[in-house]
Amino acid sequence: LHQLLLDLEIDPFRPGIAVAVDQEVILRTQWEETEIQPESEIEIIRAAQGG
């Protein structure tokens, strides 16, 4: 999962990012050890300032 974020040019250490794999939120502390399968559904949410 960590490598996927890097491949997508998303800084995995940036605050305000949440990731779910197969509708399960993955804790940031588990990103490096979480393996992605070809059939996995991944949702990445990035908080943005605005109003």
Q: Where are the domains of the chain?
A: 2-46
18: tokens are: 């949440």
* pLDDT tens digit sequence for 7-18: 999 999 999 999
Phi-psi region of 41 (alpha: psi -120 to 50; beta: other; left: phi over 0): beta
* pLDDT tens digit sequence for 16-45: 999 999 999 999 999 999 999 999 999 999
- The pLDDT score that the predictor gives to residue 49 is 87
Provide the 10 A C-beta neighbour count for residue 22. 12
Instruction: Please state, for a pLDDT cut of 70, what percent of the chain lies above it.
Output: 98
CA distance 17 to 37: 21
CA distance 12 to 50: 21
